[in-house]
Chain A
Amino acid sequence: MALDAYQKREFKQVGTRPNRPDGVDKVTGRAMYGADVTAPGMLHAKVLRSPHAHARIRSIDTSAAEALPGVKAVVTSADFGVPEDAFLLDVQDHCMAREKALYDGHAVAAVAATSIAAAKAALKLIKVDYEVLPHVTDLDEAMKPGAPVVQAGRAFENVPAGMSENVTHHCEFGHGDLEAGFAKADHVIERSFKTAATHQGYIEPNACLASVTADGKADLWVCTQGQFFYRTLCSAILGMEASQLRVTASEIGGGFGGKTMVYMEPVALALSRKAGRPVKLVLTRDEVFRATGPTVSSSMDIKIGMTKDGRITAAQARLRYSGGAFHCGTVDFGAQAAFAAYDLDAVRSLGWNVMTNRPKESAYRAPGAPLSIYAVESVVDELCQHFGLDPLEVRLKNAADKGTKSSYGPTFDQIGLKATLEAAKAHPHYAAPLGPNQGRGLSCGFWFNFGGNTCVSLSVNTDGTVGVTEGNPDIGGSRASISLMAAEELGIPYDKIRTIVADTSSLGYNDVTDGSRVTFAVGLATIKAARDAIKKMCSRAAKIWGIDEDAVEWVDGAAVPAGPNAGKFPPMTLAEIAAVSAETGGPICGHHEVNADGAGVSFGVHLCDIEVDPETGATKVLRYTVFQDAGKAVHPSYVEGQMQGGAVQGIGWALNEEYIYGADGKLQNPGFLDYRIPVASDLPMIDTVILEIPNPGHPYGVRGVGETGIVPPLAAIANAVSRAVGVRMTELPMSPPKLQKALAEKG
């Protein structure tokens, strides 16, 4: 058995709920977020943004702005090169428009000045000569031949001929004979769905401080989910060597995938390089909405056939996603995830990416999956209603299991779907009575999960405490979980350990905090770094005792002789070994580097009760229960937090959140007043049921839990609404005006 494979054990600390190490700083306001770093001589930057959805930039005159007192640098796309790599060029173009402004809010120039007021005044003096072009923000419109072309020549070769140039990408997954499958069905339902783009809605606006010195060295302090990836992108865009740019991640006020991409950091660096002074750039909320990562918008057709006893015979999804004005591969995730919960003989999902005049999509919790699964789970529910079948039984009957060939190719190993469905079925929520205009909905959810490049250093201090140095910004309590795993492995108390997130010069490359990977992959590397340190400590004890190092083992935080033949020595604790480390060979550290796989897919089931006000179309969530497999919940409170947070974001997506574009192509609601994320009083307590079906690929059985939770709420709520008031909502959000209209039309 490989060393990193799961081994059953009794946990002493993993599974407990100690306080999070970042808690005090956060509640007392001392945590250092992106905008909290300052430097001597620092300048303030502001960005000039396109007021047009689509316009050619004929020229930009910055002379008057440059002449304004206090202004130290102005940059435009002319201050950047033109990278050969298409992805990198897109990233750069998104940060600073080159030939065309591609969406309302697209950056066209930026100023660094001695005060915010001077920077703002300078923006007004920049003259941009725009040739306004026809725009398209709706993806179905953008697909039509003759639609305004967002960017020419971006379509991949596999895009079928005859489509608009805005279609950049096509994908296809599945197996089996669809026609034969549909022929076996007693009923086939075909439905079309549309979903609006949503924003991650993190509370902390993007912020950074960039400092480039005269000899070309640079520092970037930034609010990010991945300092190493930001270094890769920024150094490539700025033409720097990676070693010369050190990126330090601040404390982070939410990311949800949205802070895995640079938006203005290369601009801050370019301004600092030009001005020769540190530059701080903090986005306003308006800028966050207009120019940082929303999700894709989508338009989808689903066709599913079922026998009258509830077996799905064939299923097909046609998915059209728009990732904004750039190429985007998120539709692949949507197409792969769409039918993952089902064991199907005939299944096909097809996807297309369409460019529109909107900002570049960024990852948002399980990117692409909530939409396609919303559409699929809606049709499955409608089929259950058609035949009068219990929706949980139907899901159990068709559920994927160990050995199922998944709809996207791989054959599943141990997965928790059936156990999760059984848990939902056995829960009192499923049988609780409902009142008038109330309905209960359910949906399955799925996410792939990810492992990835990870590097951890663990140092044993001479006073018997331990420092863990890892490279992934903590967006959900991961420092607590990592400390717990180190404590478990070393056999010392949790509070003897401090875990910190290191800058890019202190560790090897760590992938971004995404794919629900941190507790899994960093946890795995931490456990193995601890084992590395334990091995060294055993060897130090062996040296002191004068016995062979193989004759020493580690028990409950101390080195002990392995068996009676090894010799009779009292246990030497970690603290005792550490105290004399200078005499036994110097500092003791453990390391581990890995490109982890074996993350283990994750399934969840959500149950929700809602009540519709039939006169206004308002939907109130009355009761909500999340069932999800965590493999092993290292810190159950933070696992519950992830499950609840995902559910809440999904509820917002289902009911009210949306990017609203006017006919002028401008975003109508770039603020939290009209971009409605749920507030606390909108929600009941979200109940959680954690299942623990060990992931074979992790020493403690851990599975990522961060993303699956956002997937089921969309369909769970749509299904509940349908059962409450008899209307099937095929467009998200199901905001009150839409639901009221549907109810009026139904009569």
Chain B
Amino acid sequence: MQYVAAKTADEAVALLAGHSGMARVLAGGTDLLVQLKSGMVEPDLVVDIKRIPGMRDITPEAGGFRVGAAVSGAELGEHAGVCAMWPGVVEGFNLIGSTQVQGRATMAGNLCNASPAGDAVPSLVAAGATVRVQGPNGTRDVPILEIPAGPGRTTLAKGEIVTSIFLPGRPDRASDAYLRFIPRTEMDIAVASAGVSLVLGSDGTVESARVALGAVAPTILLAEEAAKVITGTRLDDETLARMATACEAICKPIDDKRGTVEFRTRTAGVLAKRAARIAYDRAGAKA
């Protein structure tokens, strides 16, 4: 197995595009190294992107933030600007693993590992974040939702890498939240999850919302109907109950060792309700 620490994104892309065997990008390695050790993947080439200048930067852009693909959970969690604007994105990302894992894990790695249960992704979907992808044919910006193709698969073409994730700017009266269900309190994998981002109108009702559900389908789901249900409301109990029902309606989970179809479906609705409430309170507190 060959290991290369690329010095530029162009070099990384060239190496990956030109390689004929199995190649993998290495960011924090908290998924990849585990897979290597257990013999799940046996790549001939590993390209480390952490040393590429700019990959570990968080830069203000157009009222929002551009987050480099190698920014770790610990680094994002210490960024006051991102924490204030996108607390739900930060909390989803910071739930991953332990202190040690947080020192290395990246959002881009979580996204490209393409687990339907990845904790960083639902909040990014709810946030309407976009991904900058660089490949042999240049650079493109892609909505988060279009990256995962199914468990363990992405829509990235051969030689393409994610170089950054863009979190858009937003008005003051807005916030987001993420919740996951795990049978333990940490070191676990989401059995169902929900990210909710919303903007409040001047009258205190929800002006617009995005709701995303994790671990209840082969890829993260955007729950458009659930968002519609809460728009224009103050999240009274009856609205929240209808929101949960709307979430349940789109779940297509599997029955497995981690949870039944019934459990995942019901729990996704519960989490969406609770995350919406938290996001609503956070947004209200800012006003």
Binding site for B on A (CB under 8 A): 120, 286, 615-618, 655-656, 660, 668-669, 673-674, 676, 678-679, 681-682, 735-737, 740-741, 744
With A and B bound together, what is the CA distance between A268 and B185 in angstroms?
39
**Residue from B39, B181, B185, B191 in contact with A681 in the complex, judged by beta carbons closer than 8 Å:** B185
**Residue from B39, B184, B259, B270 in contact with A682 in the complex, judged by beta carbons closer than 8 Å:** B184
Known pairs A674-B257, A682-B184, A736-B181. 6 more at Cβ < 8 A? A286-B38, A615-B267, A676-B183, A676-B184, A741-B260, A744-B266
**Residue from B39, B189, B259 in contact with A673 in the complex, judged by beta carbons closer than 8 Å:** B189
With A616-B181, A668-B257, A669-B257 known as contacts, the answer to whether A737 contacts B262 (CB < 8 A) is yes
**Residue from A120, A660, A741, A744 in contact with B257 in the complex, judged by beta carbons closer than 8 Å:** A660
Q: Which 7 residue pairs across A and B have the least CB separation, nearest first? A: A737-B263, A681-B185, A668-B257, A615-B270, A660-B257, A682-B185, A737-B260
Contacts of B249 in A (CB 8 A): none
With A and B bound together, what is the CA distance between A632 and B185 in angstroms?
36
Chain B at the A interface: mostly helix, strand, loop or mixed?
Answer: loop
Quick check: is B141 within 8 A (CB to CB) of the other chain? Answer: no
- Minimum C-beta distance from A686 to chain B (A): 16
With A735-B183, A741-B263 known as contacts, the answer to whether A676 contacts B257 (CB < 8 A) is no
With A and B bound together, what is the CA distance between A741 and B258 in angstroms?
15
- Minimum C-beta distance from A155 to chain B (A): 33
Question: What residue of chain B has the Cβ atom nearest to residue A736's Cβ?
Answer: B183
With A and B bound together, what is the CA distance between A676 and B259 in angstroms?
13
**Residue from B183, B262, B263, B270 in contact with A656 in the complex, judged by beta carbons closer than 8 Å:** B183
- Minimum C-beta distance from B152 to chain A (A): 16
- Minimum C-beta distance from A710 to chain B (A): 19
With A and B bound together, what is the CA distance between A350 and B58 in angstroms?
67
With A and B bound together, what is the CA distance between A616 and B180 in angstroms?
11
**Residue from A615, A618, A660, A741 in contact with B183 in the complex, judged by beta carbons closer than 8 Å:** A618
**Residue from B187, B188, B256, B267 in contact with A740 in the complex, judged by beta carbons closer than 8 Å:** B267
- Minimum C-beta distance from A665 to chain B (A): 14
Question: Is the CB–CB distance between B270 and A678 below 8 Å?
Answer: no
With A and B bound together, what is the CA distance between A678 and B186 in angstroms?
9
Question: Is the CB–CB distance between A679 and B187 below 8 Å?
Answer: yes
Residue from A286, A660, A674, A737 whose CB has the most chain B CB atoms within 10 Å: A737
Question: What residue of chain B has the Cβ atom nearest to residue A620's Cβ?
Answer: B185
With A and B bound together, what is the CA distance between A660 and B259 in angstroms?
12
With A and B bound together, what is the CA distance between A519 and B174 in angstroms?
62
Contacts of A669 in B (CB 8 A): 257
Q: In chain B, residues 241-273, which have Cβ atoms closer than 8 Å to a Cβ of chain A?
A: 256-260, 262-263, 266-267, 270
With A and B bound together, what is the CA distance between A348 and B186 in angstroms?
43
Contacts of B183 in A (CB 8 A): 618, 655-656, 676, 735-736
With A and B bound together, what is the CA distance between A120 and B189 in angstroms?
29
Question: Is the CB–CB distance between B184 and A616 below 8 Å?
Answer: no
Question: Is the CB–CB distance between B184 and A656 below 8 Å?
Answer: yes
**Residue from A668, A679, A735, A740 in contact with B186 in the complex, judged by beta carbons closer than 8 Å:** A679
Question: What residue of chain B has the Cβ atom nearest to residue A737's Cβ?
Answer: B263
With A and B bound together, what is the CA distance between A446 and B181 in angstroms?
35
* 18 residue pairs bridging A and B, Cβ less than 8 Å apart: A615-B266, A615-B270, A618-B181, A656-B184, A669-B257, A673-B187, A673-B188, A676-B184, A678-B184, A679-B184, A736-B181, A736-B183, A736-B263, A736-B267, A737-B260, A740-B263, A740-B267, A741-B262
Contacts of A673 in B (CB 8 A): 187-189
- Minimum C-beta distance from B175 to chain A (A): 23
**Residue from B185, B257, B263 in contact with A679 in the complex, judged by beta carbons closer than 8 Å:** B185
Question: What residue of chain B has the Cβ atom nearest to residue A662's Cβ?
Answer: B257
With A and B bound together, what is the CA distance between A5 and B100 in angstroms?
53
With A and B bound together, what is the CA distance between A681 and B95 in angstroms?
14
Question: Is the CB–CB distance between A676 and B263 below 8 Å?
Answer: no
- Minimum C-beta distance from A109 to chain B (A): 18
Question: What residue of chain A has the Cβ atom nearest to residue B258's Cβ?
Answer: A674
Contacts of A741 in B (CB 8 A): 260, 262-263
Contacts of A655 in B (CB 8 A): 183
Q: In chain B, residues 76-132, which have Cβ atoms closer than 8 Å to a Cβ of chain A?
A: none
With A736-B181, A737-B262 known as contacts, the answer to whether A681 contacts B270 (CB < 8 A) is no
- Minimum C-beta distance from A413 to chain B (A): 42
Contacts of A120 in B (CB 8 A): 39
Contacts of B270 in A (CB 8 A): 615-616
With A and B bound together, what is the CA distance between A737 and B253 in angstroms?
14
With A and B bound together, what is the CA distance between A286 and B270 in angstroms?
34
- Minimum C-beta distance from A568 to chain B (A): 68
With A and B bound together, what is the CA distance between A646 and B257 in angstroms?
26
With A and B bound together, what is the CA distance between A682 and B183 in angstroms?
9
- Minimum C-beta distance from A171 to chain B (A): 33
**Residue from A615, A678, A679, A737 in contact with B259 in the complex, judged by beta carbons closer than 8 Å:** A737
With A and B bound together, what is the CA distance between A617 and B257 in angstroms?
16
Contacts of B260 in A (CB 8 A): 737, 741
Q: In chain B, residues 23-71, which have Cβ atoms closer than 8 Å to a Cβ of chain A?
A: 38-39
Question: What residue of chain B has the Cβ atom nearest to residue A656's Cβ?
Answer: B183
Question: Is the CB–CB distance between A616 and B188 below 8 Å?
Answer: no
With A and B bound together, what is the CA distance between A660 and B267 in angstroms?
22
With A and B bound together, what is the CA distance between A678 and B182 in angstroms?
12
With A and B bound together, what is the CA distance between A741 and B260 in angstroms?
10
With A and B bound together, what is the CA distance between A660 and B39 in angstroms?
23
With A and B bound together, what is the CA distance between A616 and B273 in angstroms?
12
Contacts of A615 in B (CB 8 A): 266-267, 270
Contact with A along B168-195 (1 / 0, CB 8 A): 0000000000000101111111010000
With A and B bound together, what is the CA distance between A681 and B266 in angstroms?
25
Question: Is the CB–CB distance between A616 and B267 below 8 Å?
Answer: yes
With A and B bound together, what is the CA distance between A618 and B183 in angstroms?
7
- Minimum C-beta distance from A79 to chain B (A): 27
With A and B bound together, what is the CA distance between A216 and B184 in angstroms?
51
Question: What residue of chain A has the Cβ atom nearest to residue B255's Cβ?
Answer: A737
Contacts of A736 in B (CB 8 A): 181, 183, 191, 259, 263, 267
Question: What residue of chain A has the Cβ atom nearest to residue B263's Cβ?
Answer: A737
Contacts of A674 in B (CB 8 A): 257-258
With A and B bound together, what is the CA distance between A618 and B186 in angstroms?
14
With A and B bound together, what is the CA distance between A120 and B266 in angstroms?
44
- Minimum C-beta distance from A283 to chain B (A): 14
- Minimum C-beta distance from B195 to chain A (A): 17
Question: What residue of chain A has the Cβ atom nearest to residue B37's Cβ?
Answer: A284
Contacts of B257 in A (CB 8 A): 660, 668-669, 674
Q: In chain B, residues 171-230, which have Cβ atoms closer than 8 Å to a Cβ of chain A?
A: 181, 183-189, 191
Contacts of B256 in A (CB 8 A): 668
Contacts of A682 in B (CB 8 A): 184-185
Contacts of B258 in A (CB 8 A): 674
With A and B bound together, what is the CA distance between A655 and B262 in angstroms?
19
Contacts of B189 in A (CB 8 A): 673
With A and B bound together, what is the CA distance between A102 and B99 in angstroms?
41
With A and B bound together, what is the CA distance between A679 and B267 in angstroms?
22
